[in-house]
Structure 1
């Protein structure tokens, strides 16, 4: 009889799962959906706050290089610090195998200090992140609860509202931010930087980052290829109000997957080889950090797919405009439309990553020849290099259109230079020209027209000036 009771107790216990409770943070269970599912098969409980040893490192405009430690359990640490209640607070949470005093985190704060006065808090939970992946994935529940605890203390002791707070989480840190947001009513914003896929994609909203976690949730996806077999660490799932897929979200320019990345096990990534193995994954925080200094350099276009974006089907911006990926996404008028929105853009392959998209249409004149045509824009802020517009049979009277991403905003366009060539020796020295070139910047409705009546030989630049109205 005793044996039957033991079996029954064991089965009941297995069904109910285990639970740990931590003072001020609540209880954490290993029952579904947190464990025992196809996505999260292992029953793992989060570590204690003491073992994770989360630290809150405050940088401000007054102390940009040396952090001050804040303790959620000790309000006097706030009073003794440079924390200012009349400023916004941005809290950065690192991911797996990372740490809060890493250069990229403090560098992001420093970029903020160049454009605003702000409390920038780095959440350092390295002891909880530098362990097996499954354990770290569960530890984020406690880290998120601790962030929420800090926000509650700021609210109750200093009347500091959650509406002044943005959480910025990379990788596992994005889901820690989601946990904090789900515990903090009225939180202004969460930015997810390539939220990690494993143990989170496809789970219920309470497990992962989702749009209900803040008034605005914006997400940058840079490593969204499937983990198996492509070693993509980030999630492809829409998790915000605004989900950005730079360069399509799968493979970032300048990142080359290496054979080594196929054999490094999940628990060994990042350490010492972050830019080598996890290059796509870390691009998300590099884009965000640069976006702080480039308020208009990451315009993103609503589009059904990256294939359509590449096929020039998503230009220019619609009437409500385009959001800026990164720091200024909250300026977008349509940010809370109620439905999840996907956006695409291209970036550079190395710093500086910012790009400005232009649409160009070229109407041709002269002889019929085979070749290619190129265009460069010249404005009051600078000029672009030559961009390929068309390759094939160049016919007089035909018009060819193309979009391209320039390394700079040229400002007010003053002239356009046209070039053609075919690299074929032609004794008749044919001439080709452009009667009209129209240019549009992606974020503007205005179309600028440039005209010429000349034709030129191969490899001779033709300058087109603004068209004169003949009306």
Structure 2
């Protein structure tokens, strides 16, 4: 029996090396039960190929079968994009098909897909076998591992990591790029870099986190019960993107223990949750960047999401901005709009304050509540992040309103005095200043702040 619950097990294959359930691959909390991967013959991953010359019908690449390559449209001089699905998925899922189409629209690539029998234990075998295939393509056909970009979703992210680890022979000879799309968390969160995707696995590693959680390490069922994320929260790349904080994505509300069971049954609901809306947002976002490479997918370096929402991380100075997705590799190391208000010349007030930005088109506006309820002191500044479904580009005007929470205003309405407003547009970093110069605004009214 290859699995002994009382001691680490190990198995070796001539051209693929050894696999063990011990060492860094065992952890009593995160990985309490370990299985060895299936044999190479049983895992037997399939590698399909699409190019611009065969967009609709795939050919299949087989290791040690030269005819499978020569009879295909594989061009070793072209960059190669490898797409790898996650658990309870397959290579014909709609998101895989759409990503392939977007990639071939973006560039003249070899678009490869990896199809495999899914389990955490088999990820190492699939990754090792994929590394072997790439080495063979180098030796027999002149391909270059530096021109390979492995795009993996969920468990596929860690398969990409094992592939890259198998291809790293030196600093000058390694896999070109890995993109981890919401890398799987259960059995990987908090583990040694040998076990999961990490920055040493390719020359450039980027990751998009959309369903992350660090609250319940390793236990998938508990994550499902408590609607906790099933992706990694820890950084695993040279650059890690956390859209909407990396946890809850707009429009995703389903839960296995509510309407899913009623409408789908517990088995299908479980499958839906495991391939959940939040978890699937990462490949959707990546595909959108390839289909719309000139669109705004700008991201900002920030310590945490609260700091970002407060508008404290909106500067691109010092190379602190990068583009999420297909263009992430343009970032070389060295949210939308930022508003700051200062006020003076009035007594302390208690209330709420809202700023509205007006774009070039009068139909594009965005509003931000800078202060939901609280004190406004003379000389105090406020700042925040303005977002809207339709980007407000080219801000041409600013209106400020506020409402006093004080009941003691029998004789006159309270006022605040506004010194100025500074707006920084996140997309283009355009800065505009509006000078209030002590402009008086009564409670329950709004006024435009003139441009300086």
Tell me the equivalent position of 2:423.
Answer: 439
Alignment partner of 1:33: what SS?
Answer: helix
Match of 1:194 among 182, 192, 207: 182
> Aligned ranges for residues 100-249 of structure 1 at < 5 Å?
100-125=91-116, 128-129=117-118, 136-185=119-168, 186-225=174-213, 226=216, 227=219, 228=222, 230=226, 231-249=228-246
Tell me the equivalent position of 1:402.
Answer: 384
> Aligned ranges for residues 14-413 of structure 1 at < 5 Å?
17-21=9-13, 24-35=15-26, 38-125=29-116, 128-129=117-118, 136-185=119-168, 186-225=174-213, 226=216, 227=219, 228=222, 230=226, 231-256=228-253, 258=255, 260=257, 273-274=271-272, 278-292=276-290, 293-295=292-294, 297-334=296-333, 357-362=336-341, 370-379=351-360, 383-391=364-372, 400-413=382-395
Alignment partner of 2:355: what SS?
Answer: strand
In the alignment, the residues of structure 2 paired with residue 276 and residue 77 of structure 1 have an alpha-carbon distance, to the nearest angstrom, of 35
Alignment partner of 2:370: what SS?
Answer: strand
Tell me the equivalent position of 1:342.
Answer: none
- Verify the 8 A CA contact 1:359 1:403 in the aligned structure 2: yes
Deviations 1:351-399 (A, max 9, x none): xxxxx51112345699988553331231379833333334457789865
Question: Displacement, 1:82?
Answer: 2.4
- Verify the 8 A CA contact 1:384 1:407 in the aligned structure 2: no
- Verify the 8 A CA contact 1:373 1:421 in the aligned structure 2: yes
Question: Displacement, 1:462?
Answer: 5.2
- Verify the 8 A CA contact 2:45 2:126 in the aligned structure 1: yes
- Verify the 8 A CA contact 2:209 2:243 in the aligned structure 1: yes
Alignment partner of 1:192: what SS?
Answer: strand
Question: Displacement, 1:143?
Answer: 0.9
Deviating more after overlay: 285-294 vs 186-195? 285-294
- Verify the 8 A CA contact 2:51 2:104 in the aligned structure 1: yes
Deviations 1:75-117 (A, max 9, x none): 3222222223332211111111111111101111222233222
Taking only aligned residues, the RMSD between alpha carbons, in angstroms, comes to 3.8
TM-score, length basis structure 1: 0.76
Question: Displacement, 1:139?
Answer: 0.8
Deviations 1:162-205 (A, max 9, x none): 11111111111111111100011311111111221222223332
In the alignment, the residues of structure 2 paired with residue 284 and residue 179 of structure 1 have an alpha-carbon distance, to the nearest angstrom, of 20
Tell me the equivalent position of 1:351.
Answer: none
TM-score, length basis structure 2: 0.79
Cα distance change, pair 466–66 in 1 and its aligned pair in 2 (3 A): farther
Equivalenced residue count is 424
Runs of 4+ displaced beyond 6 Å: 261-264, 268-272, 364-369, 393-398, 423-435, 452-461
Alignment partner of 2:321: what SS?
Answer: coil
- Verify the 8 A CA contact 1:322 1:443 in the aligned structure 2: no
- Verify the 8 A CA contact 1:317 1:444 in the aligned structure 2: no
